Structure 1
Amino acid sequence: MIIVIDGYNILKYNAGQLYVSEEQRRHFVRRCARYGHFKNNSIVIVFDGGDSQWQSSYKDHDALVIYAGHGKSADDAIKRYMSKQRADNLLLVSSDNELAYWASERRIASMGAPDFLQILSTYNIKQADHSTSTSIIKISQDSSPELDALMQEAALMNVSKPEDNPTIRDKNADKLSKSERQLYKKLKKL
């Protein structure tokens, strides 16, 4: 699947500010690229403007980064890119209503900034959990083999709370409309 991300739309939603620094942009691109690599999805991040008058692109950590061109909107670049791809293989990530409407007219699934950021942060939390050491650090001199065994077992369990995962309707999935079923399939791949 190809995940097409409206870069500044997501970054500005996340940061809650009008200006996004170069460092914030680079960090976001790397985060998305790691996620795409881990999930075996292609990541395309499109930003407004750029240094050149013309649209330019480059690869950054397995993500295709596209700049629309000086004074040009990412929305137009996203539309051009998505028009050249198969609709059933695309997922648009943007909270721009006009862009989401354009995508829905072409049967392209879309998701807003809050849902994508939640998925991305859940992925980063899981990555941090996997990268931490599984060795046990005892902070007390007391000894209780039963308690130690219980704590070891509990540490290996991955408990997730419902609020940690984006809302995906699992029940009655066969009663969804065709477009909802397509979105559901794509969300399960995330």
Structure 2
Amino acid sequence: MALHLLIDGYNLLHQIPELVLLMQEDPEEARKALLKQLQEYQRIRRHKITVVFDAWGRNEPQSKVNIKGIQVIFTAHGETADDYIKRRAAKEKERAVVITSDRAIRSYVETYGAISVTSRDFLSRMEAAFYEEMKGEKLAFEPRPRKRLPKKARQRLAKIAKL
């Protein structure tokens, strides 16, 4: 089953120090820089990626644009990225992997069977993917547990390992 990464765009962007600084000067360039990193990641891992940004006061309807294989959503006026991600994850259930550090969103989407990963953890996995491609070697993230985990926990770990 192919994974669909639903990314809280500003939440992830604010985890990257150089993009935080760029965001203060030129938000459009900061978003482009984030999307460029995600495009490189997508080229390596081949996951479907949707990045959702809040409307931030735009008085426009929701807009969707596909930028080199990544779907970018700007929510409609009055809708938050959180609302969109929750709705989409509830619809996609087990296929969805939600990338956000917002505990409320993570808890909500997991009740529908989606997997959630913090933005920091995802960045670590994205950097590992870049390293693996460059060096040609696989990095191990989690030590293997000594006891057999429950089936749901094993399935969750298997999906996260694909990141």
Runs of 5+ consecutive residues of structure 1 not aligned to the other structure: 131-157
Q: CA offsets, 1:127-151, max 9 Å, x none? A: 4446xxxxxxxxxxxxxxxxxxxxx
Whole-Å separation in 1 of the counterparts to 2:113 and 2:88: 15
- 1:3 and 2:9 are equivalent in the alignment: no
The aligned amino acid for 2:40 is R
Whole-Å separation in 2 of the counterparts to 1:47 and 1:114: 18
For 2:149, the equivalent position in structure 1 comes to 176
- 1:32 and 2:38 are equivalent in the alignment: yes
Whole-Å separation in 2 of the counterparts to 1:123 and 1:41: 12
1:22 equivalent among 17, 28, 34? 28
Shift of 1:78: 0.9
8 Å CA contact 2:13, 2:31 repeated in 1: yes
Q: CA offsets, 1:155-181, max 9 Å, x none? A: xxx5x7xxx75x424334x73234422
Q: CA offsets, 1:111-136, max 9 Å, x none? A: 00111000111222334446xxxxxx
- 1:56 and 2:29 are equivalent in the alignment: no
8 Å CA contact 2:53, 2:81 repeated in 1: yes
Shift of 1:93: 0.7
Please, what is the CA RMSD of the aligned residues? 2.5
Q: TM-score with structure 2 length normalisation? A: 0.82
TM alignment of 1:129-168, pairs within 5 A? 129=135, 158=137, 167-168=141-142
Q: CA offsets, 1:73-127, max 9 Å, x none? A: 1001112222332x12111111001100101111211100111000111222334
Whole-Å separation in 2 of the counterparts to 1:57 and 1:81: 14
Q: TM-score with structure 1 length normalisation? A: 0.71
Q: Which has the higher contact order (CA 8 A, sep 6+)?
A: 2
Do the aligned partners of residues 36 and 29 (structure 1) sit closer, same or farther apart at CA in structure 2, a change above 3 Å counting? same
Do the aligned partners of residues 37 and 70 (structure 1) sit closer, same or farther apart at CA in structure 2, a change above 3 Å counting? same
Runs of 5+ consecutive residues of structure 2 not aligned to the other structure: none
8 Å CA contact 2:22, 2:30 repeated in 1: no
